[in-house]
Structure formats: C-alpha cells, structure tokens
C-alpha cells in the first residue's frame, strides 16, 4: 500500500515535470565535443535540448549508483565473511552442512 502511495506522490508529479521540461525544451541545440574547433561538423551533434538534459540526468544516476555500489563494497564483503563464519560455527557445533545451507538469513518472501 505504501509503495502505491509513494508512486502516486513522488513519481507522477516527477513524470509531469519531466514531460513539461521536454515539451518546453524541444528546440535543436548544437553540442560540440571539440572545444578547440567548435565548427567541426564531425564532432558536433544537433539534437533537441531535452535529449541532452535527459542524457545528463541518466549519466548522473549511473555515476551516482556506481559510486554508491563501490563505496558499500566493504559492507558486502563483511556480510559475506560473517555468513561464512556463521556456517563454519554451525558445522563445528555438530549440525550437518545441508541443514545449515538450507537455513536462510532472510525471512521467506510474502506473496
């Protein structure tokens, strides 16, 4: 229920703003990759401005996601080490490895 509420409250207004942004910025803009020779037609791309805005937004999201993923790597490594230690402690306590492997750290999914 909360997911639907968040969808309506956050994503619907965001979609409306992005659509309005795309409609307002549909004029062609030249984007030059070569700053030393801006007149070079081989390295100049002319597209609607909203394409560049959305591309910058997508690139920022990808870079931010990768930075977060790399930053949290040590915590994932620590969780793997703790899971291995827990399994070795269960085996040392005399429990068979099959029952230790069948136990999940996470609760079962709810339908």
Closest CA to 84 of 107, 61, 100, 62: 100
Extents of the domains making up the chain: 2-93
Contact 48, 21 (CB under 8 A): no
Q: What confidence score (pLDDT) does residue 4 get?
A: 84
DSSP state of 108: P
Residue 109: φ, ψ to 5°: -70, 150
Segment 23-35 shows an average pLDDT of 89
Three-class secondary structure of residue 32 per DSSP: strand
Q: Which residues contact 31 (CB under 8 A, 6 or more apart)?
A: 44, 45, 46, 47, 52
Collapse the DSSP code of 93 into the 3-class scheme (helix H, G, I; strand E, B; otherwise coil) and give the result. Answer: coil
User: What pTM, to 2 d.p., does this model score?
Assistant: 0.61
Q: Quick: pLDDT tens for 63-102.
A: 999 999 999 999 999 999 999 999 988 888 876 555 545 5
Q: Decide if pLDDT at 3 tops 90.
A: no
Using a 10 angstrom Cβ sphere, with 0-12 exposed, 13-18 middle and 19 or more buried, the burial of residue 23 is: exposed
Report pLDDT for 55.
94
């Amino acid at each position: 229920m909360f997911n639907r509420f968040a969808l309506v409250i956050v994503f619907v207004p965001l979609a409306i703003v992005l659509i309005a942004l795309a409609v307002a910025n549909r004029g062609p803009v030249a984007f030059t990759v070569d700053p030393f020779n801006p007149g070079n037609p081989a390295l100049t791309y002319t597209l609607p401005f909203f394409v560049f805005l959305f591309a910058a937004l997508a690139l920022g999201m990808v870079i931010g996601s990768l930075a977060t993923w790399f930053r949290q790597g040590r915590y994932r490594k620590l969780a793997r080490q703790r899971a291995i230690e827990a399994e070795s402690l269960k085996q040392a306590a005399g429990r068979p490895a099959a029952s230790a492997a069948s136990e999940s750290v996470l609760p079962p999914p709810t339908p």
